Amino acid sequence: MLAYIKGTLEMKMTEYVVIDVGGLGYKVFMSSIGIEKLGEIGSQVKVYTYYRVREDDISIYGFNTNEELRMFELLLSVSGVGAKTALAMLAVCTPSEFVLAIVSEDINVLTSIPGIGPKSAKRIILELKDKIKKEQQIQELSSASKTNKEMSETNIKVKQMIEDDNKIQEAVAALQVLGYNKKEIEKAFMKLDKTNLTTEDLIKKGLMILAN
């Protein structure tokens, strides 16, 4: 498995780039936005990768961030969504916009993506919301099994605040979709001034902290 590719950007095409690593040129498929963000030919680049193996095809897909990679993997897990459709989504939606659309069940955001109709949008939301619930249940059971009998008053207040605020709950769920666990999300939110922030703001600022 390839976690990422780091090398010299040799070629930028419409649907893919070529990255030279020690004399080997890797053809990496990316979204149009992802290709634009890579920079100029000859520059050093790093892309996170998904290695896809099929009977008649072996391809590498590249992403600017781990969150984009996670979003791509989630989309591939939905029945009827292929790699090209997933890349098309990445060209239209950022990971924060995508997960917000899932947790808020915003069909309009998904149907704005070429090739995604109302039925497909509903299926994506349904399947991924089920995944969110399962991940949350697993994390809660794991947390409950730990002998963590004493919590500081600060942690109790933070937990209560998260439980009481719907916006924060939605943001936590959205970030969990992208692979972060609840505990590290709560720690990130402790560093934020959450006054007057929308759910999307919380997701974006949370991602900035979690990515560092």
Task: Please report the DSSP string for 73-125 in residue order.
Answer: HHHHTSTT--HHHHHHHHHH--HHHHHHHHHTT-HHHHHTSTT--HHHHHHHH
25 or 141, which is more confident: 25
Q: Contact, 17 vs 74, CB < 8 A?
A: no
Residue 200 gets the label, from left (phi > 0), alpha (psi -120 to 50) or beta, of: alpha
Q: What is the CATH number assigned to the segment(s) 4-64?
A: 2.40.50.140
Q: What is the pLDDT of residue 147?
A: 40
Q: What are the residue ranges of CATH 1.10.150.20 in the chain?
A: 75-211
Closest to 161 (Cα-Cα) out of 195, 137, 198: 195
Q: What is the CATH number assigned to the segment(s) 75-211?
A: 1.10.150.20
Which residue is listed with tokens 């004493």?
A: 150
Q: What is the pLDDT of residue 89?
A: 87
Q: What is the pLDDT of residue 103?
A: 80
Q: What is the pLDDT of residue 135?
A: 56
Q: Dihedrals φ, ψ of 6, to 5°?
A: -125, 120
- The arithmetic mean of pLDDT across residues 92-100, rounded, is 85
The mean pLDDT of the chain is: 82
C-alpha distances (whole Å) from 156 to each of 164, 175, 206 are 12, 21, 20
Token representation of residue 12: 């930028």
Strands annotated E in 22-155: 24-29, 44-54, 57-63
- The arithmetic mean of pLDDT across residues 34-62, rounded, is 92
The model's pTM: 0.73
Q: What are the residue ranges of CATH 2.40.50.140 in the chain?
A: 4-64
Q: What is the pLDDT of residues 158-207, one digit of tens each?
A: 554 544 467 788 788 788 878 888 888 888 888 888 778 888 888 888 88
Q: Within its chain, how far is the Cα of 61 from the centroid?
A: 15
Task: For Cα atoms 175, 177, 179, give the angle at the middle one, nearest 5 degrees.
Answer: 80
Q: Please, which residues have CB within 8 angstroms of residue 88's CB and are 6 or more apart in sequence?
A: 31, 113, 114, 115
> Hey, what amino acid is at 187?
K
> For the ranges 37-51, 81-95, 122-136, which has the lowest average pLDDT?
122-136
- 151 falls in which pLDDT band (50, 70, 90)? very low
